[in-house]
């Protein structure tokens, strides 16, 4: 009898050791850093707003895992140690129908958890959607089947009086050039159907509506980009035949490079007699030593030939 009791006593400890070892192997075998593990699959963002959402996601997953471990532990404990075995001589656990403290616990604790989760979700959402009265840069984003136009309405216009603007085509992916470390405001509008402005590195997307004021849609949001780089942008709302090819690219430049870019956009190109396009301005900056960051064409995506006669039966 003493041996049997010792065996039953050491069984939970042995199971805990096996579970801890399995968890350690699972973490170390993935080759992930601590920061990657704590992201729990959340993409790495390039804005403070993205980091705020990542923190909410991390702590929500941790809370869910804690609850899950407790529930799983209770289930496995019951299955392993409170089942009737063959020739069982020991009495079953005490049975009861009502337990007021336990019932209060199972109601009050989940309500508290939901309230805490709601609080942090609401505060995170409020901070992300907060808008400053005087952003540093304002961009009008216009979506249309199946491309994008980006206009800088508050910047000084080009010599021809037109605002600085970039329009994509079936042969050119439009570049949305933005500064780092400045508050950028995006004003979204569609000329036809519903589209969606999505940059994965922003960890944020928003529908682009025709007549947003009539659709009760908040079509404005702001963010700040932390670092230079090229980030693919996509339409995330099924909008027609070439929806999947409706891409653009965010090109984040340091403030001084961004100011230089705008200066070049307002200059007349001697070869064309018109203000420099985005590609021409970035090409000139590349010649000045900006490097790959100032590539005149998109580096994260490429245009799609919409002429079906160019396609073969295999696609």
CA distance 81 to 85: 10
Query: pLDDT tens, 180-191?
Result: 999 999 999 999
Strands, E, within 153-265: which ranges? Answer: 164-167, 175-179, 183-190, 195-199, 204-208, 220-224, 229-235, 247-253
Residues in CB range of 173: below 8 A, 6 or more apart: 247, 248, 249, 297, 298, 301, 302, 303
At residue 38, the pLDDT reads 72
pLDDT recorded at residue 255: 94
For residue 207, is the peptide bond before it cis, meaning its omega torsion is within 30 degrees of 0?
Answer: no
Rounded to an integer, what distance in angstroms lies between the CA atom of residue 100 and that of residue 281?
73
Q: In what order do the strands lie in the sheet with 183-190?
A: 164-167, 147-152, 137-144, 183-190, 220-224
pLDDT of residue 222: 93
pLDDT of residue 226: 93
**pLDDT of amino acid 139:** 95
Domains of the chain, by residue range, sit at: 7-81+98-129, 137-296
Please give the Cα distance from 56 to 311 (Å, whole number).
45
Q: What is the pLDDT of residue 23?
A: 59
Q: Which residues of the chain have pLDDT under 50?
A: 7, 9, 31, 310-315
pLDDT tens sequence across 96-113 = 677 788 888 888 988 999
Under DSSP, the state recorded for 163 is P
- Strands of the sheet containing 247-253, edge to edge, are 175-179, 247-253, 229-235, 195-199, 204-208
The rounded distance, in Å, linking the Cα atoms of 93 and 123 is 46
What distance in Å separates the CA atoms of residue 264 and residue 214, rounded to the nearest whole number?
38
Please, which residues bridge with residue 250 across strands? 176, 231
Q: Which CATH class is domain 137-296?
A: mainly beta
Question: Would you state the pLDDT for residue 314?
Answer: 44
pLDDT of residue 262: 93
């Amino acid at each position: 009898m003493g041996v049997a009791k010792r065996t039953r006593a050491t069984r939970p400890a042995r199971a805990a050791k096996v579970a801890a070892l399995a968890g350690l192997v699972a973490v170390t075998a993935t080759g992930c850093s601590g920061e990657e593990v704590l992201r729990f699959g959340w993409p790495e963002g390039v804005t403070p707003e993205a980091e705020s959402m990542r923190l909410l996601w991390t702590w929500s997953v941790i809370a869910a895992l804690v609850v899950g471990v407790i529930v799983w532990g209770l289930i496995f404990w019951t299955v392993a140690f409170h089942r009737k075995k063959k020739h069982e001589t020991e009495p079953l656990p005490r049975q009861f129908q009502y337990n007021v403290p336990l019932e209060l616990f199972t109601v009050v604790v989940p309500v508290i958890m939901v309230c805490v989760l709601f609080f942090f979700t609401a505060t995170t959402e409020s901070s992300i959607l907060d808008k400053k009265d005087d952003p540093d840069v304002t961009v009008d984003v216009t979506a249309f089947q199946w491309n994008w136009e980006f206009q800088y309405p508050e910047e000084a216009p080009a010599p021809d009086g037109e605002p600085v603007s970039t329009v994509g085509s079936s042969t050119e992916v439009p570049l949305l050039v933005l500064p780092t470390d400045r508050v950028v405001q995006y004003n979204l509008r569609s000329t036809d159907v519903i589209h969606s402005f999505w940059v994965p590195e922003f960890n944020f997307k928003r529908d682009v509506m025709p007549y947003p004021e009539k659709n009760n849609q908040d079509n404005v949001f702001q963010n700040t980009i932390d670092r230079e780089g090229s980030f693919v942008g996509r339409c995330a709302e099924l909008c027609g035949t070439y929806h999947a090819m409706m891409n653009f690219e965010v090109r984040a430049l340091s403030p001084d490079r961004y100011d230089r870019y705008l200066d070049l956009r307002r200059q007349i190109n001697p070869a064309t007699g018109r203000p420099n396009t985005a590609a021409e301005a970035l090409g000139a900056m590349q010649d000045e030593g900006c490097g790959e960051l100032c590539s005149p064409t998109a580096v994260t995506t490429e245009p799609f030939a919409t002429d079906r006669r160019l396609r073969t039966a295999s696609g």
